[in-house]
Amino acid sequence: MSFLRKSVHLLGSVARRQQHLKVIGGAISTAARDYSSKPSEDYANFPGAKAPFVSKLNLIQPEDYAPIPIYRVMDQDGYIADETQDPQLGREVVEKMFRDMVLLNTMDKILYESQRQGRISFYMTNFGEEASHIGSAAALEMRDLIYGQYREAGVLVWRGFRIDQFIDQCYGNTEDLGRGKQMPVHYGSRELNFVTISSPLSTQMPQAVGAAYAMKLKPNNDACVVCYFGEGAASEGDAHAAFNFAATLGSPVILFCRNNGFAISTPSHEQYKGDGIAGRGPMGYGITTIRVDGTDVFAVYNAMKAAREYVLKENKPVVFEALAYRVGHHSTSDDSTAYRPAEEIEVWNSVEHPISKLKRYMVHKGWFDEEVENEYVKDIRKKVLKQIAVSEKKLKPNWREMFEGVYAEMPQHLIEQRTELEKHIEAHKEHYPLKNFEK
């Protein structure tokens, strides 16, 4: 009996210490402050939570918590405020960061226009979020597995996905790795460890948690999983599932939220009332959390480095929120000036733009040559335009591939259906666009 009582006390004091650890920078609750003066005997013995009793009624208000601060390395003029936070990246790496962001931005502009001209059926740009992609991708290893939403093409750019691969996917031609089965921007690459994008929002989140769990069990695992999603997607039930499974089961996964202020037309204040997505991490799910300026490529880089190290060392998840602004329309099917002022967009497209910020940093360093960069942009434009001309002329895969990949092997009923269509097309070929498809 006495042993039991002792162990209960022990549990209480352990829980109390953990309580302190969970109070993160700037977010100290009044409730937590009250607890600290009480002796550990006051901890209640309910299995559902370890906490002290209080004798005064106190409704815990969201306002009792300070918002989680935003980690920033570089100000909008490209100056590093605290030298200890300078990642000290070499010129070569910074130049790759800059050029990959520019490449993505340039490709986006042209592909967006080509959709407007009816040359591809659909497109989604990445304007304003380039630093979240590149900064995070640069801090990872190629063996780390990526699950994305659809606005993370920069991660692929960093990993070496080529312009022709992007554009071939948008055209669904015979070179498309996805065999023309999905809409444009639904990229995937086995080689680059980037799991194929799908349209249903947040479904990738519990999947990433499962993948991380399975990877954790492999001997000498040194790879983590990163799952990207928007702040709108974080409202889905799957996001809740992912946060909670990752925490309870211990998955080395970085749950990376791109909070860009909008889900199509819905502003974030209609999406949630708490402290963004980061606010859900520490108290809500018991997950270590980081919030960064997503327009600052160095802040994203540093934070991802730390997050990666943490998840692999601890076999626990991290909630990572990168704040940015969706400068472009949601997609080519959207005109965002219908729900937000053009002046607001302009601010984020100039002084607050991630590419401008890095450019200013490079100017201070003496690493920026206007002429060389203009040439680079011109060259990328030329390559993208040329690739569009090439990709749109390429044939689509043989239409019979429509029946392939449903199952690992084609079952009898699909073989029969394919034969039925073969016979039909043979008899009515003039009604089908056969010349555009491989024979």
Partner 1 sequence: MNIKTAQLGHSLHNCIRSNIKCSLGSRSHFTYYPTSLGSGKRMNMFNAINNAMDLALDEDKSALLFGEDVGFGGVFRCSVNLRDKYGSQRVFNTPLCEQGIAGFAIGVANTGATAIAEIQFADYIFPSFDQIVNEAAKYRYRSGGLFDCGSLTFRVPCGAVGHGALYHSQSPEAYFAHTPGLRVVVPRGPIKAKGLILACIRDPNPCIVFEPKTLYRAAVEDVPTEYYTSQLGKADILRHGKDVTLIGWGTQVHVLLEVAETAKLKLNIDCEVIDLVSILPWDTDAICTSAKKTGRVIIAHEAPLTQGFGSELASYIQEKCFLHLEAPVKRVTGWDTPFPHVFEPFYMPDKHRCLSAINDIVNF
Q: To which residue do tokens 């109390």 refer?
A: 16
3-state SS assignment for residue 318:
strand
Binding to partner 1 in span 120-179, by CB under 8 A: 145, 147, 176-179
Q: To which residue do tokens 């226009």 refer?
A: 113
The yes or no reply on residue 213 touching partner 1 (CB under 8 A) is yes
Per residue, the 3-state secondary structure of 232-290, as one string, reads: CHHHCHHHHHHHHHHHHHCCCEEEEEEECCEECCEEHHHCCCCCCCHHHHHHHHCCEEE
Q: Of 40, 113, 236, 240, which is the active-site residue? A: 113
Distance CA 158, CA 96 (A): 8
Q: Of 189, 330, 353, 391, which is the active-site residue? A: 330
Q: Of 7, 13, 36, 199, which is the active-site residue? A: 199
Q: Which of 207, 235, 266, 356 binds partner 1 (CB under 8 A)?
A: 207
Distances in Å between the Cα of 101 and the Cα atoms of 127, 132, 154, 397 are 10, 10, 7, 31
The yes or no reply on residue 399 touching partner 1 (CB under 8 A) is no
Q: Which of 44, 81, 142, 406 binds partner 1 (CB under 8 A)?
A: 406
Max Cα–Cα distance, the chain, nearest Å: 89
Nearer to partner 1 (CB atom), residue 25 or residue 405: 405
Distance CA 203, CA 76 (A): 35
Among residues 95, 78, 66, 124, which one has the least CA distance to residue 327? 124
Binding to partner 1 in span 231-250, by CB under 8 A: 237-238, 240-242, 244-245, 248-249
Q: Which amino acid is at 119?
A: R
Distance in Å, CB of 140 to partner 1, minimum? 17
Distances in Å between the Cα of 59 and the Cα atoms of 31, 35, 66 are 10, 15, 16
How many chain residues interact with partner 1 (CB under 8 A)? 46
Q: Which of 1, 48, 407, 426 binds partner 1 (CB under 8 A)?
A: 407
113 catalytic? Reply is yes
Beta strands in 117-178 (DSSP E): 145-147
Distance in Å, CB of 11 to partner 1, minimum? 20
Q: Which of 72, 151, 159, 186 binds partner 1 (CB under 8 A)?
A: 186
404 catalytic? Reply is no
Nearer to partner 1 (CB atom), residue 208 or residue 324: 208
28: tokens are 């100290």
The yes or no reply on residue 317 touching partner 1 (CB under 8 A) is no
Strands 288-293 and 318-323: parallel
3: tokens are 């042993």
Distance CA 125, CA 102 (A): 13
The yes or no reply on residue 3 touching partner 1 (CB under 8 A) is no
The yes or no reply on residue 1 touching partner 1 (CB under 8 A) is no
Name the segment binding partner 1 (CB under 8 A); options: 16-24, 187-195, 275-283, 347-355. 187-195
Nearer to partner 1 (CB atom), residue 10 or residue 406: 406
The yes or no reply on residue 255 touching partner 1 (CB under 8 A) is no
Nearer to partner 1 (CB atom), residue 191 or residue 375: 191
Binding to partner 1 in span 348-377, by CB under 8 A: none
Binding site for partner 1 (CB under 8 A): 145, 147, 176-179, 181-182, 186, 188-190, 195-196, 198, 200, 203, 205-215, 217, 237-238, 240-242, 244-245, 248-249, 405-409, 411-413
Active site residues: 113, 199, 330-331
